[in-house]
């Protein structure tokens, strides 16, 4: 064998040895080792916690004197436990597979347990924790709170050993639960849109309104009427959708958009009802109002008792009188004269002391009847009016006793009496022939028009404007002077 051949053989041996070493160490052609799949626990640990940076409101469903002993929450998608505030929330490390949760009060804290009785959290509301529906799509986040259906989530705080029940709801979802309650879903779309913008603005401006109970708003007319998911309707949802994120601005700031049912012919300045003078809430004659008539009566003894209950002891009330009106005709002051002194009431106290529906009213020493054309008629000696129950309380049906003694049963809206003293309040003004004389009879009769505090937008007037072709922006600007529509996103 030649030397050259030996060299070739040695080289071949080394080449084979090198190839084996490379293969053994894991060449590109080597079989990879099988990896074990990640456990469910590892997946959960690496999943990014969910969060939401939209505006949320804390709505008190039952609180204070209405607080409860137990809260039951249910969600078909289960729950995630989040921690948040009005600016949104973030998922926490607390987890549960339970679709039913129970909250009870213990040691001054709200304690949350799952359906097996295991404690999930021993301090719920105080730490900002919320049981949120686990549905991925925000539109699918539905829960029941003590049997009633709401959107998003729930929490609770404790007052006096009782639970304050709280629905934690995203602002747009909240507005959907308000509009159908505050304005009928059969109203024109532009009126509903005006209501949606007003409700959204008022909701945002009312954050922390009832912070003593750990909530922003209640569910009554003291705030806005809210009943959750069951209130939603296609027409009101459409109004909310078309105005999503829109709020009302005055001088570049979101405003408190006060509203009510019927103006009675005129709106009022905010300071004429409350204390603060709001530049966008100026009194005006309401060209688009719908009439809503009402009547009440009180004995002088009842008025005496009412004043005493309010700490005003002026002796026996002997007379009551409207002593001042605003330029629109709305009552500005009522004066009571008693055997020991005098008491004057202004602003909202007028309505509360007399139990009235609006500031558009007149007083008399005999019964009022609303005639067919909407004017108030004061009966004279030849005509008497009794209620259907013979007390005069109910004017929906009345008996008219004519001068000849004949008694005729008739609807109040059909009655026209020509021998009485005619009075009216067209477009918010008391007729020129009416004088606010003191009433000294044993019974004081009061008749009026309108329903509500009189500040801001009358909802029935908004409806009437929409029916005449006005859009939501025109409606809002008519009742909130100097305002413009803006977007909430600019303030978040």
d(CA 18, CA 16): 5
pLDDT at residue number 399 = 43
What is the C-alpha separation between 243 and 380, in angstroms, rounded? 54
Q: What pLDDT does 420 receive?
A: 33
- Report the C-alpha gap between 130 and 313 in whole angstroms: 50
Whole-angstrom distance, CA of residue 443 vs CA of residue 355: 15
Count of helix runs (H) and strand runs (E) in the chain: 9, 30
Per-residue pLDDT at 377: 53
Radius of gyration (Cα) for the chain, nearest Å?
35
Model pLDDT, residue 370: 54
Q: Which helix (H) or strand (E) holds 60?
A: strand 56-62
Tell me how far apart the alpha carbons of residues 451 and 431 are, in angstroms, rounded to a whole number.
20
Total-model pTM: 0.80
Angle at which helix 459-467 crosses helix 189-205, to 10 degrees, equals 150
Residues 425 and 267 sit within 8 Å (Cβ to Cβ): no
CB under 8 Å to 386, separation ≥6 — which residues? Answer: 392, 398, 399, 401
Give the max Cα distance, the chain. Answer: 157
CA separation for the pair 119, 112 (Å, rounded):
6
SS3 sequence, 375-416? CEEECCCCCEEEECCCCCCCCCEEEEECCCCCEEEEEHHHCC
How far apart (Å, rounded) are the C-alpha atoms in residues 160 and 61?
17
What is the reported pLDDT for 365? 87
Contact status, residue 428 vs residue 285, Cβ threshold 8 Å: yes
Burial 425-436, CB ≥16 within 10 A → b, else e: beebbbeeebeb
Cα separation, 5 vs 28, whole angstroms: 33
Long-range contacts of 6-13 (CB under 8 A, 24+ apart): none
> What are residue 215's phi and psi, to 5 degrees?
-130, 165
Sheet holding 443-449, edge to edge: 293-299, 443-449, 361-364
pLDDT for 472 equals 98
Length of the chain: 492
For 13, phi then psi, to 5°, come to -60, -45
Q: CA 183, CA 463: separation in Å to the nearest integer?
A: 9
The total of other beta-carbon atoms located within 10 Å of residue 109's CB is 18
Q: In whole angstroms, what is the distance from residue 91 CA to residue 79 CA? A: 11
Task: Tell me what pLDDT residue 283 has.
Answer: 95
Q: Which residues of 346-373 are buried (b: 16+ CB within 10 A; e: fewer)?
A: ebbebbebbebbbbbbbbbebbbbbbee
- Name the phi and psi angles at 376, rounded to 5: -85, 135
Q: Taking each helix axis from N to C terminus, what angle separates 171-182 and 189-205, rounded to the nearest 10 degrees?
A: 130
CA 224 to chain centre: 2
Going from the C-alpha of 36 to that of each of 11, 43, 210, 234, the distances in angstroms are 42, 13, 55, 51
The CA-atom distances, in angstroms, between 14 and each of 25, 120, 175, 242, 334 are 17, 68, 82, 80, 117
Please give the Cα distance from 232 to 99 (Å, whole number): 24
Distance, first Cα to last Cα, the chain: 92
Sheet strands (E) in 93-137: 100-106, 109-113, 119-121, 129-133
Q: Using DSSP, state whether 428 is helix, strand or coil.
A: helix
Q: How far apart are CA 57 and CA 59, in angstroms?
A: 6
User: What are the two backbone dihedrals, phi and then psi, of residue 195, each rounded to the nearest 5 degrees?
Assistant: -65, -40
Residue 137 CB neighbour total at 10 angstroms: 8
Q: Which residues of the chain have pLDDT under 50?
A: 2-35, 38-45, 372, 379-433
Instruction: Give residue 292's pLDDT.
Output: 87
Q: Please name every residue paired with 285 in a beta bridge, in sequence order, or none if there are none.
A: 266
Give the closest residue to 190 by CA, choosing from 486, 481, 490, 478: 478
Nearest to 216 by CA among 150, 149, 239, 226: 226
């Amino acid at each position: 064998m030649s030397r050259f051949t030996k060299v070739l053989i040695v080289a071949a041996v080394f080449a084979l040895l090198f190839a084996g070493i490379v293969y053994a160490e894991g060449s590109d052609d080597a079989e990879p080792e099988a990896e074990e799949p990640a456990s469910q626990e590892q997946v959960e640990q690496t999943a990014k916690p969910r969060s939401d940076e939209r505006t949320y409101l804390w709505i008190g469903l039952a609180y204070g004197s209405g607080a409860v002993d137990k809260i039951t929450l249910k969600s078909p998608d289960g729950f995630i436990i989040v921690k948040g505030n009005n600016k949104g929330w973030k998922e926490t490390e607390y987890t549960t597979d339970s679709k039913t949760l129970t909250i009870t009060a213990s040691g001054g804290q709200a304690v949350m347990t799952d359906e097996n009785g295991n404690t999930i959290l021993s301090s719920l509301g105080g730490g900002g924790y919320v049981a949120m529906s686990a549905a991925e799509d925000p539109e699918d986040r539905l829960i029941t709170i003590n049997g009633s259906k709401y959107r998003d989530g729930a929490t609770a705080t404790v007052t006096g050993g009782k639970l304050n029940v709280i629905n934690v709801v995203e602002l747009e979802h909240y507005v959907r639960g308000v509009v159908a309650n505050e304005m009928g879903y059969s109203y024109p779309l532009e009126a509903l849109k005006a209501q949606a913008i007003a409700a959204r603005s008022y909701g945002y401006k009312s954050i922390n309104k009832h912070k003593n109970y750990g909530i922003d708003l209640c569910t009554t007319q003291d705030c806005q009427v809210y009943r959750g998911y069951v209130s939603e309707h296609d027409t009101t949802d459409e109004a909310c959708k078309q105005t999503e994120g829109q709020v009302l601005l005055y001088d570049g700031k979101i405003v408190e958009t006060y509203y009510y049912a019927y103006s009675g012919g005129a709106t009022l300045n905010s300071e004429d009802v409350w204390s603060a003078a709001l530049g966008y809430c100026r009194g005006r004659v309401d060209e688009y109002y719908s009439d809503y008539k009402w009547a009440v009566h009180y004995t002088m003894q009842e008025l005496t008792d009412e004043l005493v209950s309010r700490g005003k002891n002026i002796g026996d009330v002997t007379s009551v009188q409207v002593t001042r009106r605003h330029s629109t005709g709305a009552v500005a002051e009522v004066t009571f004269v008693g055997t020991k002194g005098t008491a004057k009431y202004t602003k909202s106290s007028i309505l509360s002391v007399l139990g009235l529906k609006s500031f558009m009213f007149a007083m008399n020493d005999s019964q009022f009847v609303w005639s067919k054309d909407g004017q108030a008629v004061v009966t004279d000696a030849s005509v008497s009016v009794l209620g259907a129950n013979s007390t005069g309380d109910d004017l929906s049906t009345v008996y008219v006793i004519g001068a000849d003694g004949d008694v005729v049963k008739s609807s109040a809206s059909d009655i026209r009496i020509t021998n009485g003293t005619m009075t009216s309040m067209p477009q918010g003004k008391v007729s020129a022939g009416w004088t606010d004389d003191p009433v000294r009879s044993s019974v004081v009769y009061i008749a009026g028009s309108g329903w509500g505090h009189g500040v801001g937008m009358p909802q029935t007037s908004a409806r009437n404007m929409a029916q005449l072709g006005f859009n939501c922006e025109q409606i809002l600007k008519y009742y909130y002077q100097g305002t413009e529509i803006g977007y909430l996103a600019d303030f978040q």
